[in-house]
Structures are given as C-alpha cells and as structure tokens.
Amino acid sequence: MLIGVVGKPSVGKSTFFKAATMMNVEIANYPFTTIKPNRAVGFVKVNCVDQEFEIQCTPREGYCVNHKRFVPVELIDVAGLVPGAHEGKGKGNQFLDDLNQAHALIHVIDISGSVNENGESVEPLSYDPLYDVEFLENELDMWYLGIIKKGWAKFVRTCKVENLETYKAVSNQLSGLRVTEDIAKTIMKDFSKDLTTWSEAELKRFAHELRTFSKPMLIVANKADIPGASKNVERLKSKYPSSIIIPCSAISELTLKEADKSRFLNYIPGDSSFEVVKELLPDQEKGLEYIKKNILDQFGHTGVQEALNIVVFDLLDYIAVFPGGLGKMIDSNGRTLADCFLLPCGSTALDFAYKLHTDFGENFVKAIDVKKRIPVGKEHLLKNLDVIEIKASK
C-alpha cells in the first residue's frame, strides 16, 4: 500500500509526512524545500482484536497501544506542483512518475491562505486556497495525459491491426499507473471502442477518468490552526460537497508526537486528547493549550491519522485481517498476533491464503474463522477485523 502526498509548494506536505512517519525530513517556509521524494512508513489505526481474546499482541511491524493497533502503510512525499507544471513551470512535473504506483493521493492544501500559487509566503487569509483544488487536479490530469500520449498513435494502430479488446490493451499499456482491467473496462464504457476517432478533448477526459479511478484522492485542509482558517474549511466543503475534506494541523500532530516521544505527555496518534505527565515550561504549556483548544476540541483530532485511516478504509475500501489460529495466537518467533494485513474489500479466504504465502494458496484446504470458531471455504468473503487460520495440505 503506497499513499502519495501531493500539493503546491509550502503547504505542509513534508510536515504532514513527518508527522505521519516520524522520518526526519526537511521542512521550511520557502518553495521547493523538497525536491527528491521522501519515502517512509506511516500507520493506519485499527481496533486490535487482541482485546477480544484477552491477550496483548506483539506486532512484528508497527505497534499497539491500549489495544489500538498501528498497521504499516507506505507514504511518499514529493516536490510541490505549481500551475503550469506540466509545461515545465516551477520544477515541472517529471517527479510525478515517483507516484505511478501510489494507490491513492492525499492533496494537502494550505487552508489558511498564507501561501500564494507559487508557494511563496503571503499574509494569512490573503490568498484564496479554494483555487488550489482545481489547478492541482488539472496538473494531475495533464500528467496522465502525457503518459497516455506517449506512444498513443502506435498503440492505436496495434489495437486495430491485432483486433485487441481495447480495455485489456489500455490496462496493459497503463498498468504502471495501477490502471487495472476493471478500471479500464468501467471507464471505456463511456468512450468509443474505435480509438482512431478520439479527439484531443476525449483523450483529456479519458486521462481525467483514469486518474480519478486509479488514484482516488482526499483533501487535507492543513494549517487549520491559523486563526481564521476554519472559515475557509467550511467554504471548501460547500464548494466541493462530494470530496472528502479533512481539517488538519500537521504541525500540531508533529508537536504532540515529539512531546510523547520525549515523555512529556502521553498521546496516541489520532486521539482527541493527551495527558501531560511532566512539568512543562510556561511556553510549552501555552502551546499545548492552544492545540487542545483550537484543534482537538474543535475538530476532534489533528487530521493526520484521520486522513490516513479515511484513505485506506473509506476511499480505497480496504479491510484489516489478522492471521491467527484456534487456541494459538503465537508464531514460531514468540510473537502474539504478529501480523495484520490490509486487503481490498471483497477479498476471499483464498486471497488471504495467497497473501500469507503462495504455498498456502496453492494447497488451500479450508480456512477457519477464529472468532466464530467455524470452518469456511475458499470463496468466503472476509470482513474487517476477522482473524483467519489457513489450513493447507502441505
């Protein structure tokens, strides 16, 4: 699972990325601080099943606090995009190729309006951040269009000469962008099967459809901590009622996580509160009070963990499934409920067996729903937070 963090320069992409992964990356208030992409592991938060079995898990990857399990997902933070990037403005859009394999994108915008279209600092609330949604989506469409157009004429000829199923050929051609046969088939329904008749406008519409299907995106309205910014959150929500928009203060999440790491306070990522456990300096106390009053009490969270969870479980519709065994939750390394896998909704017991190991898939005999203590077959549909044991013949 790979999630890309995109947006114009200086909106807080790297701050969001650092808050999610705790990787030490460069953050600064001038455009193009990030040029080379940063990649690191962040986490989605799920209700750990260990509580239901009255045990304490010891994850191989990620961690578990108070029966909240943090399951790894990979994040990539790239350079900022400016309007006209596809024509080479700013740093251009060549770096977008690093996002080819992303399952979904998080579009970070500076909802406080303190960064202009080129990513330069301006007075808070002096720039209208609503403009950013359209321009960024257009740049992403142009990125897809550029990829589609590469070798398009030759591709159209081959499809015609060899009489290929167009949706299969398209997904084959664009599999690098995670365009599956299903996605191509759904989109191609609205387009002529004869690719030779497609106009430039149709190609652009096609690029847009492919992009929205293969890289679903949510909007993170960052810097919501700046006074007056919440007004823009409401304006954004009413302009884009069908988009998922998460108010966020990446800097607050980072502050809380760093304070937790230094043992000044206890904070579980995504929670609506924290508990101070050490005496603080007056400035630190003031800063935390600000976060509590203006972010946690107002939005219920800082937005970072919320955004990752919504991407994986709502936008991508994934479920979390634990491998386990009837009466034996400990693996050969002594780890309890060592793993938790993220799978697309609609995955079957057999898909899960293959995810564990090809041998389990090939030699599948049956699976056991460990919570219900019943055997299930290959085609059994898995649910979020299932615990499944696979029985294989070898």
Q: Which residues bind ligand GTP (CB under 6 A)?
A: 7, 9-15, 27-29, 31-34, 79-80, 119, 222-223, 225-226, 249-251
What's the Cα-to-Cα distance from 324 to each of 329, 389, 391, rounded to whole Å?
A: 5, 5, 11
Task: Give the span between the Cα atoms of 374 and 370, in whole angstroms.
Answer: 7
Residue closest to 305 by CA, chosen among 26, 101, 10, 70: 70
Closest separation in Å from C-beta 82 to ligand GTP: 10
Total chain residues near Mg ion (CB under 5 A): 4
Q: Considering the complex, what minimum distance in angstroms separates the CB of residue 5 from ligand GTP? A: 8
Indicate the residue among 15 and 173 with the shorter CB distance to ligand GTP.
15
Draw the binding track, 8-37, toward Mg ion (x: CB under 5 A; -: no contact): -----xx------------------xx---
Residue 29 contact among Mg ion, ligand GTP, none, beta carbon within 5 to 8 Å by kind: ligand GTP
Residue 384 touches which of Mg ion, ligand GTP, none (Cβ within 5-8 Å per kind): none
Task: Tell me the closest approach of the beta carbon of residue 48 to Mg ion, in angstroms.
Answer: 33
| Stated length of the chain | 394
The Cβ of residue 314 has, within 10 Å, a number of other Cβ atoms equal to 12
**Gap between the Cα atoms of 325 and 354, Å rounded:** 17
Query: Closest approach of Cβ 145 to ligand GTP, in Å?
Result: 23
Written as six digits, the tokens of 328 are 């034996």
Residues contacting residue 13 through CB under 8 Å, at least 6 positions apart: 5, 6, 7, 34, 77, 78, 80, 108
CA neighbor of 277 nearest in space, from 288, 265, 268: 265
Smallest gap from Cβ 77 to ligand GTP, in A, equals 7
If you write DSSP's letter for every residue of 97-138 in order, what string do you get? GGGTT-SEEEEEEETT--B-TTS-B--TTSS-TTHHHHHHHH
Nearer to ligand GTP, 10 or 309 (CB): 10
The nearest distance, CB 154 to Mg ion, in angstroms, is 37
70-87 in b/e form (b: 16+ CB < 10 A) is bbbbbbbbbbbbbbbbbe
Q: Which does 11 bind (CB under 5 to 8 A by kind): Mg ion, ligand GTP, none?
A: ligand GTP
Task: Return the residue nearest Mg ion (CB atom).
Answer: 34
356: enclosing H helix or E strand: helix 349-356
- Tell me how far, at minimum, the Cβ of 199 lies from ligand GTP, in Å: 35
Report the interhelical angle of 181-188 vs 200-214 (nearest 10°): 140
Q: Using CB under 5 A as the criterion, which residues of the chain lie in contact with Mg ion when the complex forms?
A: 13-14, 33-34
